[in-house]
Amino acid sequence: MKDHEELARLIAQQYLLPHSKNQHYKTLLKALLKQACVPVALPEVKDLETCIAGIKSDKIKEDKAAKEAQKGRQYCCPLMGSSSVVVTKTCLDGFPDYSRLTLRDV
């Protein structure tokens, strides 16, 4: 089994991944999967479907985490005279974080 996983990694690195930026890469993967699944029985196809669904789920989690990290933490700034003014954490880079400061600390 490990030999087959290594073979798959080598095939992907050598022949597939160099074309990943091509606009027809998705078509290539679909056609490859379709041809490779011709001799495969239904239970194995269902297992492949589950594997691809897991990959999709991981991609969704990565995308969501990236969006949250990009958004940054937001702070309202009442000193500006309007509670609608929002300052993002990226705007505050380099300044100390006083958001957890209590009266006892002052």
The predicted model scores a pTM of 0.59
Q: For residue 92, give both structure tokens.
A: 């505050």
Domain extents for the chain? 20-71, 74-105
Each as own residue / partner, the long-range contacts of residues 14-23 (CB below 8 Å, 24 or more positions apart, any chain) are none
> pLDDT digit string (tens) for 32-72?
999 999 999 999 999 999 999 999 999 999 999 988 887 76
